[in-house]
Amino acid sequence: MDEELERVIAAHLAAGELTDAATVALSQLGPQIVGYLAATLRDDEAAYEVFGHFSEQLWKSIATFRGDSSFKTWAYKLVMHSVGRYRRDGYRRLGVPLGSDILAIAEGVRSRTPPYQRTEIKDRVARLREALDTEEQTLLFLRIDQGLSWNDVAAIMSAEGEEVAIGTLRKRFERAKAQLRELAVKDGLLEE
């Protein structure tokens, strides 16, 4: 599905159809991004606020997408910037109101994003993941939940002007998995 989505977005961009490209991107990537934000921020309202900011940034900057990475990777990089902005300026809510088109798309994603189907095991795993720091949670989400390549994960996790080495990410990933496993054993989810 990702390859087809990438082709559709690329076709819209090549034809200069920026509105269509943004609409497709938000409609298709939106639910997984909202899910990531809700899981990471553990606050639905904050997740939707960050998603709104991300949507606005995607809408405004889609013309700058150069194709150096997959569109999905580029979009998640915008998500990371929106999360950082929220954490830095969360109390001020300095956002500019969204235009009606982008607001309608963002609201459509929000309204059709199903609440997590809660099961006891999922709740327990989610609680264990909360014990990890945000960077570890993000790393697990991008690599395991989204199945992104190490190159894409490195591109997303790199700060402006500071690249993160893939080897460093792999080590962090292994430590996060080991820590999560240790927590699962203590919680009784796994046997030693």
Q: Is the model's pLDDT at 123 over the cut of 80?
A: no
Q: Is the model's pLDDT at 53 over the cut of 50?
A: yes
pLDDT in tens, 73-96: 999 999 998 988 888 875 544 455
CATH number, span 1-115: 1.10.1740
Nearest C-alpha neighbor of 134 from the set 59, 24, 50, 13? 50
pLDDT of residue 117: 38
Is CATH 1.10.1200.30 the right assignment for the domain spanning 117-192? no
Q: Is the model's pLDDT at 102 over the cut of 70?
A: no
pLDDT in tens, 165-178: 899 999 999 999 88
pLDDT of residue 116: 41
Nearest C-alpha neighbor of 30 from the set 8, 6, 7, 58? 58
Q: Is the model's pLDDT at 41 over the cut of 80?
A: yes
pLDDT of residue 160: 66
The amino acid occupying position 46 is A
pLDDT of residue 120: 61
pLDDT band with cut points at 50, 70 and 90 for residue 125:
confident
Q: Do domains 1-115 and 117-192 have the same CATH topology?
A: no
Domain ranges of the chain: 1-115, 117-192
pLDDT of residue 75: 93
Classify residue 4 as exposed, middle or buried by CB count within 10 Å of its CB (0-12, 13-18, 19+).
exposed
pLDDT band with cut points at 50, 70 and 90 for residue 186:
confident
